[in-house]
Structure 1
């Protein structure tokens, strides 16, 4: 992709987290202090036709952890942080990227489609992923201390008797999340424990994301994407599937559909952002999950958090007031 499509006056990337960063009460401090955050949550309530804000701020945790709720909650919290930031801080991104669900947030942040469609897409995506695989059939595990190529080979070896497993998230040089049939995932985990320096942690998830078992969810997402209007983007977005910057609105639908069943290439995406000139990044939303992953990938990229009022004050000091 040519640098001519990017703003040469900034070396900053915007990053958006995905499922797993959620917590009851996330975004409430921004909501209490900033009108932009209050308006964002009100728009989510209207788009979803329910008092969604109450669930995000008060729980219960078990209900917020349901994929159909988690995804729009993480999306809305990130968008609230983005709107508060843009109203006060003089920074716009050279490019954007998001982890899994966060790619949808990234696309909305650059104007590819609007907030209402974004939060409804996040809800549909979560519902479809939850329904795609019956409870107990699938599973996920984090494999650590083993390089991605070796994990890929382990998945191939473990995929037997009609049970498949594949890399779902390449989060760093020695952290790979695998997903698929529960028995096949367990076989990979056992292999990891037998390798010196390797270990595996079974993840408490409601479905095996980013694997071929998610094909029904991909088809449901494609149907909704087929009725959306995609607009020109103010900055390119690095797609999870290709780990490359996309500036073509016509390609967005296909990339989002493929993402549901494909691995999230986060390690390569972060390295691509650095290759394209990014030296700093702002993680917009709750928590510091992406900041932690980036530190393991390449410490030359300085990542700032933006999820609390104190973060806004710090970012004003760094980038200047709007």
Structure 2
């Protein structure tokens, strides 16, 4: 069994309300997270405007995914977990679920990450564009032509063989998009995001996060969790190094799925979070695996193993 933890962008208004009403463990997690973060997460779940802001949505999504995990473990106590992958932000609930980060310390660290990244978002107008059926050689060639230190642009997310995401300043992303539009089979789709995450625009966040994570207790995960940044397993010795770099370096979700699939022979993936975006990426990598999304309480009750 492989677990997937959703990243920023998966959020939808009203998410988690059915869990909060029907699952006592989930309710306990959300109430505790609300106290840690200093704002009402249930209210945040219902507020589409707050869910557009990095400082609110990151703690909300982390608590949501971890709350679903805690409910899953209570309902299926003998569940065997071969490993987990979180997309970007999703690495935090994955590490909390694995015991590598304590819940309270993990949520506090994640809240600081969200605040740091919101500050960087506010300081620079940036954009992200998904590229379907990407020609990586061409994208990298054009990137080298248009990217500058003042207006950087580059691949931020290697999601699957059929999708990457580029990010950077608005000016640089437009230049790159204009040059790539109409080239081969590639299709470009602008994304509604708060900032161009996983680019050099978040270097300040990385520096600030490095200072904060040095104060946090970390442990070896109880089940394998693969790093988006380096495509290696997280350990107590590398977590403090990887997580700060993660905010400004590209994610390699597709590579992580391939690694965990090869290492653990996973035949069943479960996504814990709103929607099924990560399962769609998994399907593009291996159509034979079983895929189940758990974004409502009803779906949790209908899981099959």
Structure 1 window deviating more from structure 2 (16-25 vs 237-246): it is 237-246
Distance 1:92 1:153, change over 3 A: farther
TM-score (norm 1): 0.90
Q: CA deviation at 1:173?
A: 1.1
Distance 1:160 1:298, change over 3 A: same
Determine the structure 1 residue equivalent to 2:193: 205
Which whole-Å CA distance do the structure 1 matches of 2:138 and 2:228 have between them?
A: 21
Which whole-Å CA distance do the structure 1 matches of 2:190 and 2:145 have between them?
A: 19
Which whole-Å CA distance do the structure 2 matches of 1:121 and 1:281 have between them?
A: 27
Distance 1:149 1:237, change over 3 A: farther
Structure 1 window deviating more from structure 2 (135-144 vs 269-278): it is 135-144
Distance 1:199 1:251, change over 3 A: same
Q: 5 Å matches for 1:190-229?
A: 190-229=178-217
TM-score (norm 2): 0.94
Determine the structure 1 residue equivalent to 2:21: 32
In the alignment, structure 1 residue 74 sits paired with structure 2 residue 61:
yes
Q: CA deviation at 1:169?
A: 0.5
The secondary structure found in structure 1 opposite 2:13 is: coil
In the alignment, structure 1 residue 96 sits paired with structure 2 residue 93:
no
The secondary structure found in structure 1 opposite 2:67 is: helix
Q: Write out per-residue CA displacement over residues 70-106 of structure 1, whole angstroms, 9 at most, x where no aligned residue.
A: 1111111101110110001131311111000001111
Structure 1 window deviating more from structure 2 (44-53 vs 264-273): it is 44-53
In the alignment, structure 1 residue 13 sits paired with structure 2 residue 13:
no
Determine the structure 1 residue equivalent to 2:133: 145
Q: Is the 8 Å Cα contact of residues 69 and 126 (structure 1) preserved in structure 2?
A: yes
The secondary structure found in structure 1 opposite 2:280 is: helix
Q: 5 Å matches for 1:1-322?
A: 12-56=1-45, 58-59=46-47, 61-89=48-76, 90-134=78-122, 137-160=125-148, 162-246=150-234, 248-276=235-263, 277-315=265-303, 318-319=304-305
RMSD of aligned alpha carbons: 1.6
Q: Write out per-residue CA displacement over residues 36-87 of structure 1, whole angstroms, 9 at most, x where no aligned residue.
A: 011011111110122222221x21x112210111111111110111011000
Distance 1:149 1:272, change over 3 A: farther
Which whole-Å CA distance do the structure 2 matches of 1:16 and 1:217 have between them?
A: 22
Q: CA deviation at 1:134?
A: 3.9
The secondary structure found in structure 2 opposite 1:31 is: helix
Structure 1 window deviating more from structure 2 (137-146 vs 255-264): it is 137-146
Unaligned 5+ segments in structure 2 are none
Q: CA deviation at 1:160?
A: 4.0
Which whole-Å CA distance do the structure 2 matches of 1:161 and 1:235 have between them?
A: 40
Q: Write out per-residue CA displacement over residues 270-299 of structure 1, whole angstroms, 9 at most, x where no aligned residue.
A: 111111121211111221111112112221
Determine the structure 2 residue equivalent to 1:3: none
Q: Is the 8 Å Cα contact of residues 18 and 101 (structure 1) preserved in structure 2?
A: yes
The secondary structure found in structure 1 opposite 2:287 is: coil
Aligned residues: 303
